[in-house]
């Protein structure tokens, strides 16, 4: 498999120019006051399909030749990568089949179908759905585009970083959620050796990238236990792990409860609807897992496709803490 390089990220930025949303960067007085740093939010929840995943998906499909596009592609996704690939397929005229685990949120499955993707269900977690999708692709002679372990996916996700280099010059930290590592490794390629330090955040119940970096080899979690479907991955990718290990990146962990509380805070303080995985970077700052005092830092808010039940739970968690108020009281 081809190893993506920084120049691939730059080429992806050119390919995607005018086709992806250049998402806003908002300074957060709330998080700055809480951490003692100067904290910015890169709001990829406002990207097309509601998540950063559209970048990698469109870049990967755009790199296919005409024959491969006619055959169509398969993928596996807990939701956001599938949504990105489904929209990219609609725009480019490519048939897309998405295998989703049974635990995938219904709101994402319904959106996949509305975008014209064929949806199949298999397995309880992403890794099981991914193995099944790869088998189907081989059987049917169609291309397989995984959600993170693919050079064009990594390069496409790295375009978040090319925008940050221009929009937040002088940032010392870029912080992002981690599942299989596509965004983390893409940001590392964009940052380069002289750029910001890139730090990933996982949930304690799905910390395969953290464990793999600590062990010096890819580690598979025997069990994945988190409400954050977007980062519920049992094992990091081969490419993504290699990039992260080569650059000695750090990954910290938080609890599911930290995600819920952070999502509630973002809703109340920043008026942003964020899914559980998308709140991981903010959760790490609030839990003290990443020190930002005196630093200029950017947190990537990766997705906003949150089920209504999670939004209600997050708001209840935030407003249930002493001293916090609901939006109506502010």
Mean pLDDT of 301-307: 95
Candidate from 51-55, 241-245, 321-325 with smallest mean pLDDT? 321-325
Residues of the chain with CATH 3.40.50.1100: 6-52+152-320, 53-148
Token digits for 159?
A: 């375009």
CATH domain 53-148 topology: Rossmann fold (3.40.50)
pLDDT for the residue 236: 96
CATH domain 6-52+152-320 topology: Rossmann fold (3.40.50)
The closest alpha carbon to 167, from 274, 20, 11, 43, belongs to 43
User: What is the per-residue burial (b if ≥16 Cβ within 10 Å, else e) of 138-149?
Assistant: eeeebbbbbbbb
Separation of alpha carbons 66 and 95, rounded Å: 13
Q: How confident is the model at residue 2 (pLDDT cuts 50, 70, 90)?
A: confident
pLDDT for the residue 324: 61
Number of residues written out for the chain? 330
The closest alpha carbon to 174, from 201, 196, 192, belongs to 196
Separation of alpha carbons 86 and 259, rounded Å: 27
Proportion of the chain above pLDDT 90, given as a percent:
89
Q: Is the pLDDT of residue 308 over 50?
A: yes
pLDDT for the residue 178: 98
Q: Which helix (H) or strand (E) holds 127?
A: helix 126-140
Q: Is the pLDDT of residue 13 over 70?
A: yes
Q: Is the pLDDT of residue 328 over 70?
A: no
pLDDT for the residue 76: 92
Name the packing angle between helices 80-92 and 106-114 (round to 10°): 0
Q: Is the pLDDT of residue 326 over 50?
A: no
CB 74 within 8 Å of CB 99: yes
Q: How confident is the model at residue 106 (pLDDT cuts 50, 70, 90)?
A: confident
The closest alpha carbon to 26, from 162, 157, 164, 176, belongs to 164
pLDDT in tens, 269-284: 999 999 999 999 999 9
Q: What is the pTM of this model?
A: 0.93
Residue corresponding to tokens 């940052």: 191
The closest alpha carbon to 175, from 95, 290, 72, belongs to 290
Q: What average pLDDT is seen over the chain?
A: 94
Residue corresponding to tokens 């094992």: 235
């Amino acid at each position: 498999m081809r190893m993506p390089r920084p120049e691939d990220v730059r080429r992806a930025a050119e390919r995607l120019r005018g086709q992806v949303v250049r998402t806003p960067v908002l300074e957060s007085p709330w998080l700055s006051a809480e951490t003692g740093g100067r904290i910015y939010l890169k709001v990829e929840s406002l990207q097309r399909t509601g998540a950063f995943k559209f970048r990698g998906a469109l870049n990967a499909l755009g790199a296919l030749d005409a024959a491969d596009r006619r055959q169509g592609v398969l993928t596996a996704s807990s939701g956001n990568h599938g949504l990105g690939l489904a929209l990219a397929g609609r725009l480019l005229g490519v048939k897309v089949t998405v295998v989703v685990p049974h635990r995938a949120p219904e709101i994402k499955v319904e959106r996949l179908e509305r975008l014209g993707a064929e949806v199949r269900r298999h397995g309880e977690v992403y890794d099981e759905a991914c193995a099944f999708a790869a088998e189907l692709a081989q059987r049917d002679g169609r291309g397989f585009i995984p959600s993170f372990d693919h050079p064009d996916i990594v390069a496409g996700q790295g375009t978040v970083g090319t925008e940050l280099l221009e929009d937040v010059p002088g940032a010392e930290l870029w912080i992002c959620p981690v599942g299989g590592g596509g965004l983390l490794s893409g940001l590392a390629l964009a940052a380069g050796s002289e750029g910001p330090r890139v730090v990933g955040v996982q949930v304690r119940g799905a910390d395969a990238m953290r464990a793999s970096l600590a062990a010096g080899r890819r580690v598979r979690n025997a069990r994945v236990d988190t409400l954050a479907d977007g980062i519920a991955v049992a094992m990091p990718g081969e490419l993504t792990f290699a990039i992260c290990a080569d650059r000695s990146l750090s990954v910290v962990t938080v609890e599911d409860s930290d995600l819920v509380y952070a999502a509630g805070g973002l809703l109340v303080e920043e008026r942003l609807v964020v899914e559980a995985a998308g709140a991981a970077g903010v959760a790490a700052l609030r839990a003290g897992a990443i020190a930002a005092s005196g630093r200029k830092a950017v947190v990537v808010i990766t997705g906003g496709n949150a089920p209504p039940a999670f939004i209600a739970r997050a708001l209840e968690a935030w407003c249930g803490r002493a001293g916090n108020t609901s939006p109506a009281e502010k």
